Structure 1
């Protein structure tokens, strides 16, 4: 007798959408989720910042065709107000929007510049043990010649919030190597309650920004503040770097491409095929073609030409080198 498959979890998916590039990326994200994960039954939420004193221009999605396309695919646009960050630090949107989500309901946040490339509904999230993206480089901190090293810099933050530092370390990595220390890309993260996660994320981020430990006096928090606070939040809530099986998110199930030229340059043939597939229906094509970078990269073939510049089996080690090659050949768009 065949065993029954485990019941699929119910959870909400959220991205931040606002006027401009993020609105079109949100449209691609939702289209990919619907195409590649037809069994997903949770809510798809587009968190939309509202105009206010922290924005010089209205950040909400003012393109009605984009709004209509999102809602026709079953996404819900959820407004939120920006009280602490806004235009000066737009990455703060992913912190402040969490309080607008349904309290007590498990959620997965994704950056809008992500494609769903597999069955998201089948990912075995442990919502009691939060985690985030490990697809990152050692961007923060940057130890100074005569200052503390990685250990001293990170430990000062764990001490500030009364957290156990030693248990956060990856003991398989050498001392003073950045991978030893808990560090994530904020391209996705998840937990059982957005309000609990969001309150702690906001508390930690504001405390680091407004009163950093003296050890961090030479460190920059722009644009890294969210990624500095995120591991502390995850560690404090009982999560870590190993709560998801390898190879699913940032692997078979999702692709955080960052910008379309980078997608064409370095991502898998499957990711490009998913992009081509979801962009072809006339209903969505008509909306996407109104955004020039998408029009040129997808519909006018510039993406395929940019892809031909790179060997995916032998990519430059640093992302900046990929960007530079794209720019020098006229394929950089954002």
Structure 2
């Protein structure tokens, strides 16, 4: 049995570029330092560089943002976009991995994540990767006369020579989406970013450029990364249950997606962490330049969103929450 890595002996990776992601990166870094003071690894901020796949320079241009990230001990790691870029920015999380330190265990987080507890105490087993199970059945979308879940997923496992049967959760009914390995790509981890990243890239590009016939009716935008991810994790010996439940996407991290969703559905503790780590003047001075953050956090719109919902009786589907926020004129991204 693989031995879990010692606490702190791993890198944390996020992706940031000019615009919304740079401000989310500041919030992530501030929350990491406030809530995980024992984290002894490196915080790597992967930044796409200009190139033919970007119509504009994607780098962080604001000196104030860079200074804050530097002050939090973040290291900016440049990477080139050779396969995705502007056309599919979710591909950043794939291509960034190939520029990270080889052989060093890593945990990737989407930048719109808040650290709410001590990451150094999470018992990662970096030989057995997993990803976020805080997801809905967003892919595939089954057509009336098209192939079902089983045929679609099996075609992908067969394409890459993976064992399909061992990926199934047999406690779930046949043709119910939870029976099939499916993650949100908000976090994932492994013992080496380049091994994980190369397989992730190979699978994603192959699915995009030459999908199995069973995918003919399926959209891959924006789902491509989440289609390839379970194949990567399964192929590298991981699965659903390699982390204790309730830690990531629980009491240690919160993948909030957008600030209106955070205020609508997350706990009082999450809201307090957000507002505490963004309160210092040096941080507020930078973050208030981004209008959604200024209005939601500093001008109190988030509290108005929060008043619309009962956290003990939330709608089961995220889209219902989003629609309610929009109807009340409070949606911001």
With normalisation by structure 1, the TM-score equals: 0.97
What does the per-residue CA deviation read over 1:119-172, in whole Å, with 9 as the maximum and x for residues that have no partner?
Answer: 000000000000000000000011211121110000000000000000000011
Question: 2: distance between equivalents of 1:62 and 1:328?
Answer: 35
1:128 lines up with 2:127 in the alignment: yes
SS of match in other structure, 1:189: strand
Question: 2: distance between equivalents of 1:118 and 1:310?
Answer: 25
Name 2:138's counterpart in structure 1: 139
Question: 2: distance between equivalents of 1:59 and 1:134?
Answer: 30
Name 1:227's counterpart in structure 2: 226
How far did residue 7 of structure 1 move?
A: 5.0
Unaligned runs of 5+ in 2: none
1:18 lines up with 2:17 in the alignment: yes
Contact 2:182 2:230 in 1 (8 A): yes
Question: 2: distance between equivalents of 1:175 and 1:8?
Answer: 39
Question: 2: distance between equivalents of 1:214 and 1:291?
Answer: 44
Contact 2:8 2:39 in 1 (8 A): no
Unaligned runs of 5+ in 1: 1-5
Counterparts of residues 290-301 of structure 1 (less than 5 Å) = 290-301=289-300
How far did residue 9 of structure 1 move?
A: 4.0
Question: 2: distance between equivalents of 1:113 and 1:293?
Answer: 13
SS of match in other structure, 1:14: strand
Name 1:327's counterpart in structure 2: 326
With normalisation by structure 2, the TM-score equals: 0.98
How far did residue 293 of structure 1 move?
A: 0.8
Contact 2:158 2:164 in 1 (8 A): yes
CA RMSD of superposed structures (Å): 0.9
Question: 2: distance between equivalents of 1:104 and 1:125?
Answer: 16
What does the per-residue CA deviation read over 1:92-116, in whole Å, with 9 as the maximum and x for residues that have no partner?
Answer: 0000000111000000000000000
Counterparts of residues 135-214 of structure 1 (less than 5 Å) = 135-214=134-213
Question: 2: distance between equivalents of 1:84 and 1:124?
Answer: 34
Q: What is the number of residues matched between the two proteins?
A: 329
Counterparts of residues 40-59 of structure 1 (less than 5 Å) = 40-59=39-58
Contact 2:50 2:59 in 1 (8 A): yes
Contact 2:8 2:38 in 1 (8 A): no
Name 1:84's counterpart in structure 2: 83
Runs of 4+ in 1 over 6 A off after TM superposition: none
Name 2:283's counterpart in structure 1: 284
Question: 2: distance between equivalents of 1:194 and 1:8?
Answer: 18
1:253 lines up with 2:287 in the alignment: no
Question: 2: distance between equivalents of 1:23 and 1:287?
Answer: 10
Name 1:3's counterpart in structure 2: none
Name 2:271's counterpart in structure 1: 272
SS of match in other structure, 2:58: coil
Name 1:68's counterpart in structure 2: 67
Question: 2: distance between equivalents of 1:15 and 1:119?
Answer: 17
